[in-house]
Amino acid sequence: MSTFIPSRFAGVGVIVTGAGSGIGKATAVRLLDEGATVVAVDISSERLAQLPQTYGRQLVPVTADVATEFGIDLVMAAAGGKIDALVNNAGIMDGFLAPSEVDDATWDRVFAVNVKAPMRLTRAVLPMMIAAGAGSIVNVASEGGLRGSCAGVAYTSSKHALIGYTRSTAVFHRGQGIRCNAVAPGGVRTNVDGAFRSDLARQVLGPLLAATVPKLAEPEQIAATILFLLSDDASYINGAVVACDSGWSAV
């Protein structure tokens, strides 16, 4: 079990996307418990309403679609002028569609949520981080960003792109006190729709997944790694991609 550190994030303002469930919810709650002010963003107001309501002004819930410019504007308006950290967690799957099957709508939506949204939100918070001379960003990538055998082509491509974006952000802004890292979870017990919409994927990927995937992680296990990367304990870690997958990426 990870160790709770009281007041580790006292006075720190953090945006967490996809905060209504799964990894995002676990991350938001732990940040709140450790003293942060959290702008908790989710597309579902119903899910946000399930967050504990005991944090007072520490918790700032925002219902927004971060894949839209309007959604980003809503988040930044709620955040005010002080954001020290950002967790780009919101993401969607793609039905495991193969390159011969993927449709434009699936491709565009997956990239809008998994790549464009983190880019826009990072771009929005960087000026205040640069002005402060410090900031920490964690992007939630995936095992799908490390290999080609655990998702469809749109999701796989989007997570590879997010890892590239993470590294580029680290290189460009490290001299301004900004750190940008990624976690790459394997299977996690969340409500993300991981249903197969492809018979080809069942034939090609099904046996590989059955043979190699470890047991599912709990969201809190991924959240612990995210908080470490956000914290001062990771002050010399920048541009890293941390596999949080019980060794799946080592197979």
Query: Given this model, what pLDDT does residue 13 score?
Result: 98
The C-alpha atoms of residue 169 and residue 241 are separated, in whole angstroms, by 13
The C-alpha atoms of residue 170 and residue 227 are separated, in whole angstroms, by 18
Catalytic residue among 25, 116, 159, 165: 159
DSSP secondary structure string, 30-42?
Answer: HHHHTT-EEEEEE
User: Number of C-alpha atoms within 13 angstroms, CB side, residue 12?
Assistant: 28
pLDDT at 3 over 80: no
What structural domains does the chain harbor? 13-250 (3.40.50.720)
Percent above pLDDT 70 for the chain = 99
Strands of the sheet containing 135-140, edge to edge, are 59-63, 37-42, 13-17, 85-88, 135-140, 178-185, 241-244
Chain mean position to CA 213:
21
> Residue range 169-190: average pLDDT?
96
Phi and psi angles of residue 141, each rounded to the nearest 5 degrees, phi first:
-85, -130
Q: Model confidence over 50-91: pLDDT tens digits? A: 999 899 999 999 999 999 999 999 999 999 988 999 999 999
The C-alpha atoms of residue 142 and residue 19 are separated, in whole angstroms, by 17
Examine the residue annotation and report whether 155 is marked as an active-site residue of this protein: yes
> Residue range 216-239: average pLDDT?
97
Q: Model confidence over 154-164: pLDDT tens digits? A: 999 999 999 99
> Residue range 210-232: average pLDDT?
95
Phi and psi angles of residue 106, each rounded to the nearest 5 degrees, phi first:
-65, -50
> Residue range 132-147: average pLDDT?
97
**CA-based nearest residue to 137, from 238, 243, 37, 221:** 238
Round the CA-based radius of gyration of the chain to a whole number and report it.
17
pLDDT at 1 over 60: no
197: helix, strand or coil: coil
**CA-based nearest residue to 26, from 37, 9, 40:** 40
Read off the pTM.
0.95
The beta strand positions in 21-77, using DSSP E, are: 37-42, 59-63
**CA-based nearest residue to 241, from 123, 144, 120:** 144
Examine the residue annotation and report whether 55 is marked as an active-site residue of this protein: no
Catalytic residue among 25, 55, 82, 155: 155
Query: Given this model, what pLDDT does residue 193 score?
Result: 73
**CA-based nearest residue to 13, from 75, 88, 89, 81:** 81
Residue 76 · residue 54 · CB < 8 Å: no
Q: Which residues contact 142 (CB under 8 A, 6 or more apart)?
A: 91, 150, 151, 155, 159, 184, 185
Q: Model confidence over 164-178: pLDDT tens digits? A: 999 999 999 999 999
